Amino acid sequence: MIRQVICAGVMIVSQVGASERGALRTDAERVIAAYIDAHNGEALAMLERVVNINSGTQNFEGVRAVGAIFRGELDRLGFKAAWVDGSAWQRAGHLVAEHAGRGPKILLIGHLDTVFEPDSPFQKFERIDEKTARGPGIIDMKGGDVIIVQALKALDAAGVLKDMHVTLVLTGDEEDAGRPLSMARAALVAAAKGADVALGFEDGPGDPRYAVTARRGTTGWELRVKGTPAHSSQIFRDDFGPGAIFEAARILNGFREKMAGEPHLTFNPGVILGGTSVDFNRTQARGSAFGKTNVIAGQAVVSGDLRTLTNDQLERAQKTMRQVASQAMPHTQATITFDEGYPPLAPTATNFVTGRAFPQAGVVWSYPLIHRGEAMTGLIEPIVGGFVGPSSGNRRNIPDEDSLAFSYSDSDLFRRDRLAGYDLLDTGQRVDYGTKLGLYDKDGGSYRLLIGQSYRAQPNLFLPLGSGAENRLSDVVGRVVLSPNSYLDLIYRFRFDANPLANRVQQVGLSGGPSSLRLSGSFIYLPPQLQSQFVTNSSTGQNVLYGTREQLSFNVTAKMTRYWSLQAAQTINLTHSTTLVNGVPTSPASSASLYASVSAIYQDECMAFVGSVTQSGIRNGDVTPGVSVLASVVFKNLGEIGGTIASISGLSLP
């Protein structure tokens, strides 16, 4: 539930601020997430309270009581709330609340009623375990109503609600709309007409990984059948016929034979009454029947619903049902009527596919200044790069799945597109500038420095906070490479905050040995994150604030023959620093192995083969420690074939 509330709050904020933001990028959005985590207990208590009040559609007092609880919460947030009486359409009514502000007009939609009337055996909230509960209307949709209220409270805590224009409509007859429908939905239609954005908070497909791309419409139908009453000994005679109940059964079976199995079409007889006389209350969907076992039934009533994905499908189904009902057996007659229902929202191509065109151009200029001496050659090379593209292009309907780990480094200087994958674009206009310095001796040794920075015309709010490139002025990045000979390389890479020059990332590496046996190692240091830089795990919804991180990595490559080599690598965590997960301190074990692998590599002029066994100690969302065996074959002119042969996860690694 926490994750759903955060999503609700963030979606609303994104409409108020810049039209393009990444999830949980601004300070306000981070306050929202922190508020939700801190007040989740209050939300669960509110959910339990409203679930324990029966609000079946026909329980008008119960619907009003649930509405009163939410109205109290909205009043405290400064909303002007009103109860719209529903007596004109034979229902309890609706709760409508408005918060006036300067921003776009946002409509939030929910409902107060459930399908569980007072005589239902399912009445109370029940905790199954610490993460799971069940109760009447939790999903449909008192849980959604609580999410709305908690999201608004979080927005208020972040100081952004005061500038927002929000209208809230919680209907009291969503499960069984009153009639006429034009009156029952007048308040919702009026609110929708002035809205720039509308959000419905009823559960969709039941899985937060998916979104609803279409919705079937629903229409009610009622079948009334008349027969010829007589003594039961005369049934099926040519002068009396089968009676109303048999004729109703024939019609229902005809519906099944002609329409069952059609994709996206359902038709359900929910209530059936038959006998000598029938009294059916359509509003309450209940009634009574009188008959005797020795009397042919004179009346039958069937009430049900019809759901279709398109208007054409609805028209075809209604035509078929009328035809079946019109083919009456002797001495019976049947009529079928359809009420005004909700129209279907058919799927469109744009619901499933999205795309974008993103033109981008860039130019890099450098001017190397070289001085040649007897023992050394010196180099000073200023470099400037300019890159131009639209400031827009990143969209919320294209989730970022392949650019999540971006961290600005020296290798990103003077690159047109600095982001991996296709989901996230490096938008806008920027200038990269830097300098290369170098000393080269006559024996092949070299000593090199690169340092640089970027300036953007506008911040890119889709880049991860703390990545070093999200603001207009980027962090200062660079590297120092000392290579006195072909057997030894010393590398120092750094990233400093632009203002002040505070340490962001430090990495020191060493590589040495002949080509037949090359050893390398590196040490990386990352300082603790600030409170405003926490990361939200996309798999678990957990907010993670990392402490100091220090890691040591080793790699050994041994060339066995002309074509074969062996390689081993390991990365070790060196710190006991505390990481906060949803505000709860956790301490990873020092000296724990984060990653280890052994690989066999074959490489010739045409192809390469890599086989490896990898042990991972990383736990992140649905990624758990385990061992994997991988193999891949690369044909240098054709491509690559490979995959995981075996994987065992959930292992407890040292």
Model pLDDT for residues 324-348, shown as the tens digit of each residue: 999 999 999 999 999 888 889 888 7
Greater confidence, 465 or 535?
A: 465
Report which secondary-structure segment, H or E, holds 243: helix 243-259
Q: Is the pLDDT assigned to residue 19 strictly greater than 60?
A: no
pTM, to two decimals = 0.53
Integer Cα distance of 101 and 60 in angstroms: 33
Of the candidates 343, 338, 340, the residue with the CA atom closest to the CA atom of residue 312: 343
Amino acid 239: pLDDT: 92
Strands laid side by side in the 333-338 sheet? 266-275, 299-308, 217-226, 333-338
Residues whose CB is less than 8 angstroms from the CB of residue 256 and which lie 6 or more positions away in sequence, other chains included? none
d(CA 323, CA 302): 17
Determine the length of the chain.
654
Dist CA 49 CA 66 (whole Å): 9
In terms of pLDDT, which residue wins out, 569 or 582?
A: 569
Reply yes or no on whether the pLDDT at 21 is more than 50: no
Measured CA angle at 531 (ends 526, 535), to 5 deg? 70
Query: pLDDT tier at 12 (50, 70, 90 boundaries)?
Result: very low
pLDDT computed for residue 349 by the predictor: 72
Residue-wise pLDDT tens digits, 139-164: 899 999 999 999 999 999 988 899 89
Whether 549 has a pLDDT exceeding 90, the answer reads no
DSSP H or E run through 192: helix 186-193
pLDDT at 179: 85
CA distance 495 to 502: 9
Cβ proximity of 56 and 118 under 8 Å: yes
Which CATH number is correct for 2-200, 3.40.50.300, 3.40.630.10, 3.40.50.2020, 3.90.1150.10?
3.40.630.10
Residue position matching structure tokens 């329409």:
259
CATH classification of 217-338 is 3.30.70.360, yes or no?
yes
Q: Look at 91 and 500; give whichever has higher pLDDT.
A: 91
DSSP for residue 69: H
Q: Which of 480, 492, 489, 548 minimizes the C-alpha distance to 523?
A: 492
Residue 460: closest CA among 527, 495, 412, 502: 412
Q: Where are the domains of the chain?
A: 2-200, 217-338, 361-512, 515-654
- b (16+ CB within 10 A) / e for 606-644: eeebbbbebbbbeeeeeeebbebebeeeeeeeeeeeeee
**Best-predicted range by mean pLDDT (175-189, 241-255, 573-587):** 241-255
Secondary structure of 260-288 as H, E, C letters: CCCCCCEEEEEEEEEECEEEEECCCCEEE
pLDDT of res. 369? 95
Lowest mean pLDDT across 24-33, 71-80, 329-338: 24-33
CB 453 within 8 A of CB 498: yes
Whether 533 has a pLDDT exceeding 70, the answer reads no
* CA distance linking residue 344 with residue 22, whole number of Å: 32
CB 602 within 8 A of CB 624: no
Residues 192-219 have pLDDT tens digits of 998 888 888 887 766 666 667 788 999 9
Q: Which positions ≥6 away from 243 have C-beta within 8 Å? A: 227, 228, 229, 235, 296, 297, 298, 332
Residue 10 has pLDDT above 80, yes or no: no
